[in-house]
């Protein structure tokens, strides 16, 4: 499902609870910035997978479209480190065409069909492009998930070196999704299927996750 936090506060609370549990378990609670995001004002849309019993088993959220470079969270991840100035320039170049950040992805350890659900998060990134009608999505990801995010058309920036975010255990990279470069055609992506988020109104609550 996709919704705005103020439209579905209970669902938003469930999503946050799952994110809090997941980030705590993996020792990266600092990266969640729970207190700053809990009121939902920094989140434009959030996406959740809802099981047959109504429980939330994973999700992701979108920030933006951004109006200024300083609004982009990824800048803080490279603050004072090699690549910060290059990242600022890349963001500034893309802002006129629409830039959204996709963040806070998680999947519950006990979720049914967990592997399939994890793969579906890559598709959610593209749904964000469509629903928010922007050209670019910016994401930051550790090395171990780059292949997954690349499966939906994301490209790792070779110009920006990795950064140890949220701590030295991780080598986090910058990834971009460019709407113009995504595959087209009826078999290119699940966005082509009737009934997915791309065919729903931008302000609607739409179901995305009951089949996973």
**109-133 confidence digits (pLDDT tens):** 877 788 888 888 888 999 899 999 9
pLDDT above 90 coverage of the chain, percent: 61
Q: H-type helices in 138-198, by residue range?
A: 146-150
Is it the case that residue 65 has pLDDT exceeding 70? yes
Whole-number mean pLDDT of the chain?
84
Mean pLDDT of 123-144: 92
What's the predicted TM-score (pTM) here?
A: 0.83
Q: How confident is the model at residue 180 (pLDDT cuts 50, 70, 90)?
A: very high
């Amino acid at each position: 499902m996709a919704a705005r936090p103020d439209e579905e506060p209970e669902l938003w609370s469930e999503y946050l609870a799952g994110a809090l549990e997941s980030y705590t378990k993996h020792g990266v609670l600092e990266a969640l910035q729970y207190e700053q995001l809990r009121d939902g004002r920094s989140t434009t849309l959030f996406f959740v997978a809802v099981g047959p019993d109504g429980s939330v088993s994973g999700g992701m959220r979108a920030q933006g479209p951004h109006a200024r470079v300083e609004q982009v969270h990824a800048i803080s991840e490279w603050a004072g480190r090699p690549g910060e100035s290059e990242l600022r320039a890349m963001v500034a170049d893309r802002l006129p065409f629409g830039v959204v950040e996709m963040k806070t992805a998680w999947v519950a350890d006990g979720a049914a069909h967990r592997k399939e659900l994890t793969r579906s998060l890559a598709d959610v990134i593209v749904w964000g492009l469509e629903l928010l009608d922007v050209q670019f999505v910016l994401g930051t990801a550790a090395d171990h998930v780059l292949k997954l995010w690349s499966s939906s058309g994301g490209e790792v920036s070779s110009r920006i070196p990795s950064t140890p975010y949220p701590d030295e255990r991780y080598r986090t990279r910058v990834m971009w999704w460019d709407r113009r470069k995504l595959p087209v055609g009826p078999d290119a992506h699940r966005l082509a299927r009737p009934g997915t988020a791309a065919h729903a109104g931008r302000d609607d609550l739409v179901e995305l996750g009951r089949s996973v």
